[in-house]
Amino acid sequence: MAEDLHIVQGDKATMYTALIPQIKGLLEGEPDLVANLANTAAALKEQFGWFWVGFYLVKHDELVLGPFQGPVACTRIRKGRGVCGTSWAEARTLIVPDVEKFPGHIACSSLSRSEIVVPLIHNNTVVGVLDVDSAELDSFDTTDQQFLEAIVALIPWS
């Protein structure tokens, strides 16, 4: 497909609904994981303008920073630590309306105020997480959860 993203205005569901076929187009026929994670992070950042969008991948029992869009970030997170490590340990999406109220939150940037972390699950195992940070409080809800879970399920894992 053409590499220009078509940005849509409207409510969240409208924006996600327009974005998903474009992400499918970016992933289609491309088996390389880094390329696919990089374009998925870029597409989400471009459509929504969030502060930070990126992936951490499970490597040797740690989460290691993968492709992302936004300011530099922490490189390694242990299982059960922070929002990302908790999402990994519990194999579920976590929505954090106010990061200061999440015990053990890892502040890669003091500008991050709310966060959603979605696990990437392959063969019933968490292989990484998608982490999205917002500079505003309470940016994420179950609509984000539903669509972001659908988006990470599109990423081929081999």
Least Å from the CB of residue 56 to ligand SME: 7
Comparing CA positions, the residue from 56, 58, 36 lying closest to residue 117 is 56
Q: Which of 112, 114, 134, 139 binds ligand SME (CB under 6 A)?
A: 112
Residue 105 within binding range of ligand SME, rule CB under 6 A: yes
Give the interface segment with ligand SME, choosing from 18-26, 39-47, 80-88, 138-146 (CB under 6 A). 80-88
Give the interface segment with ligand SME, choosing from 6-14, 33-41, 77-85, 141-149 (CB under 6 A). 77-85
Residue 106 within binding range of ligand SME, rule CB under 6 A: yes
The tokens describing 74, both together, are 């922490």
Q: Interface mask (CB under 6 A) for ligand SME, residues 14-53, using x and -?
A: --------------------------------------x-
Residues 6+ apart with CB under 8 A from 28: 1
How far CA 2 is from CA of 20, 24, 26, 67, 114, in Å, comes to 15, 12, 9, 21, 33
E-state strands within the chain = 52-59, 62-69, 76-78, 94-96, 114-122, 125-134
157: DSSP letter: -
The tokens describing 80, both together, are 């059960």
Residue 119 within binding range of ligand SME, rule CB under 6 A: no
Q: Which of 41, 44, 53, 84 binds ligand SME (CB under 6 A)?
A: 84
Residue 114 within binding range of ligand SME, rule CB under 6 A: no
d(CA 11, CA 38) in angstroms, rounded, equals: 25
Query: Which spans of this chain sit near ligand SME (rule: CB under 6 A)?
Result: 52, 73-74, 77, 82-85, 105-106, 108, 112, 115, 131, 133
